[in-house]
Amino acid sequence: MATLEKEKRQEKIKIQEQVEKPVSPWKDAWRSFKKNKIALIGAIIVLLFVVVAILAPWIMPYDYNKNDLVNRLQPPTGDHWLGTDDFGRDILSRSMYGARISLTVGFSAVLGSIIIGSFLGVVAAYYGRWVDTLISRIFDILLAFPSILLAIAIVAILGPSLRNALIAIAIINIPNFGRLIRSRVLSVKEEEYIVAARAVGMNDSRILIRHIIPNSITPVIVQGTLAIATAIIEIAALSFLGLGAQSPKVDWGKMLADSQQYLVNAPWTMIFPGVAIMLTVLGFNLMGDGLRDALDPKMKS
């Protein structure tokens, strides 16, 4: 009898071991993301630029703003791997420091857009009525203007500077996140578990924080990753027009603006900042596509 019970216990243990352990949605998304080789390449590119941006003050071979007129417009050599610009400044050092500014502005602008846009979108969708109408009309007004022209107008009013360029980029991206999370909240708030939460007397703030926002944030994460790429292009465009970084600070857009007249005689002064922008944007786009595939159940096979 004891032997029979022992065998039953062993069989029960084997059956339990064969049952797959529950996996959290985030772990499942990470597994899916790791299987996407192209997305991993994008993540590696982004990580590389982030590390360079963080460590730039310590790994730059030269002072990014040090003039050396004797060696101006020198092509890539052993001393200056990416050459020098019209003031003899090392392009590699300036590109590294430019990564620091461009990525900081891109991340900060998108983070501000996500916070403000998500707040407005959640409030509009959850409370509806005149609140929804008012916020939605504000989004429509902002979206009625071409984004880059609206950013130029905002910086022109506030004055050329990196801070004002950051504010402008954050403002023009608010409607995108607001409308995105609004549509998601409109769907989630009608779910049965939300109705049940209201029925048991849970207040609005607790419902929003514990249920609605966590179940609506996934598309915002994906859109945020893609928006950083767009923000980097936008800050480069503003700096190229003289509305972003001001001397002695430098970003990739300002480097392009300073070297545009040397495109024929010294093309390396424009090529390397342009390649830096292209690779960074490519990395964020590849990573964003991978996150979309990993986080969206409809995209999973």
C-alpha 26/C-alpha 31 separation (Å) is 9
CB atoms within 10 A of CB 165: 30
Question: Which of 67-76, 208-217, 232-241, 263-272 is least confident?
Answer: 208-217
pLDDT in tens, 239-272: 999 998 888 888 999 999 988 888 888 999 999 9
For residue 240, being part of any structural domain is answered with yes
Percent of residues in the chain assigned helix, strand, coil, to nearest 5: 75, 0, 25
Q: 266 lies in which domain range? A: 43-65+79-299
For residue 103, being part of any structural domain is answered with yes
For the record, the structure tokens of 182 come out as 């609004």
Number of H helices, E strands in the chain: 12, 0
C-alpha 252/C-alpha 92 separation (Å) is 11
C-alpha 75/C-alpha 272 separation (Å) is 12
For residue 21, being part of any structural domain is answered with no
Total tally of structural domains belonging to the chain? 1
From residue 138, alpha-carbon distances to 10, 144, 150, 180, 255 in Å are 65, 10, 14, 14, 36
Binned at pLDDT 50, 70 and 90, residue 1 comes out as low
CB 184 within 8 A of CB 193: no
pLDDT in tens, 125-158: 888 788 889 999 999 999 998 888 999 999 999 9
For residue 19, being part of any structural domain is answered with no
- pLDDT for 210 beyond 90: no
Q: What's the whole-model pTM score?
A: 0.84
For residue 24, being part of any structural domain is answered with no
CA triple 71-74-75, angle to 5 deg: 160
Report H helices in 189-249: 192-199, 204-207, 218-240
Helix axes of 162-188 and 218-240: crossing angle, nearest 10 degrees: 160
Q: What is the CATH number of the domain that holds 230?
A: 1.10.3720.10
For the record, the structure tokens of 86 come out as 């019209």
For residue 9, being part of any structural domain is answered with no
For residue 6, being part of any structural domain is answered with no
For residue 200, being part of any structural domain is answered with yes
